[in-house]
Amino acid sequence: MKLIVGLGNPGREYRDTRHNVGFMVVEEIARRYALQWAQAPSQVPDAFIAKRFGTEPVLLAKPLTYMNLSGDAVAALMRYFDVPAEDVLIVVDEADLPFGKLRARARGSAGGHNGLKSIIERLGTTEFSRLRLGVGRGDDQRKLSDHVLSIFERGQRAELESFITRAADAAEMFVAEDIGKVMNTYNPEAAPSETD
């Protein structure tokens, strides 16, 4: 089974913010297959999950622990469903990438992202795949936290659907192929051995 975890914050006030593009991607994959979201088993703290069965079973997840505690839900999901780190893809916003750019990696540091930092702390490893979605840094005069917790600008909103579609395609390629294929397809300037 492959586990695709979209990171974000629960609640209506965060729904359309840059920090929630991870949620948007797993929601798009669920929409494609008409999957229903359900509360995770009681052994998994605060997460919604959706399952797709077939030749390559997939578990989609949205931790509801808030971004800074994402590792609690990810570790519990991996333990409960017996998913090894190499079969996990974390989908997350990235302020250091321009809006609309994707970057896949097989491993690496948190790069300053609190959600990834929490996952690395709880798993005790950096050896899991991640798909970073560029949301840009915004105005230098504005706090980064305010930027990622704000909604997309009008011009970006017009392109957001195609951005999320490409990211969902990349996540599905991870399931059907592997992270190396995703890297070569979506960030061709990067060598497969690169990390963050």
What distance in Å separates the CA atoms of residue 116 and residue 120, rounded to the nearest whole number?
A: 6
pLDDT of residue 196: 45
Please give the pLDDT value at position 51: 96
14: DSSP letter: G
- Read off the pLDDT of residues 130-172 as tens digits, 9 standing for 90 and up: 999 988 765 666 565 555 565 766 777 778 899 999 999 999 9
Give the 3-state DSSP-derived string for 18-68, with helices as H, strands as E and coil as C. Answer: HHHHHHHHHHHHHHHCCCCCEECCCCCCCEEEEEECCCCCEEEEEECCCHH
- Spell out a b/e string for 124-134, using b for 16 or more CB atoms within 10 Å of the CB, else e: eebebbbbbbb
Pick the CATH number of 2-186 from 3.40.50.1470, 1.10.10.10, 3.30.2270.10, 3.30.750.24: 3.40.50.1470
Predicted pLDDT at 163: 93
pLDDT (average), residues 120-134: 96
Catalytic machinery residues: 19
Please report, for the chain, the start and end positions of each structural domain, with discontinuous segments joined by +.
2-186
**What pLDDT score does 75 carry?**
97
pLDDT of 95 over the 90 cut: no
pLDDT at 54: 81
Quick: pLDDT tens for 3-24. 999 999 999 988 888 889 999 9
State residue 56 phi and psi, 5-degree precision.
-125, 95
Asked if 121 and 83 count as a contact pair (C-beta separation under 8 A), the reply is no
pLDDT: is 65 or 188 the higher one? 65
Low-confidence winner among 52-56, 100-104, 110-114, 159-163 (lowest mean pLDDT): 52-56
pLDDT value at position 192? 43
Condensed to tens digits (0 to 9), the pLDDT of residues 26-82 reads 999 999 999 999 999 998 879 999 999 888 899 999 999 999 999 999 999 999 999
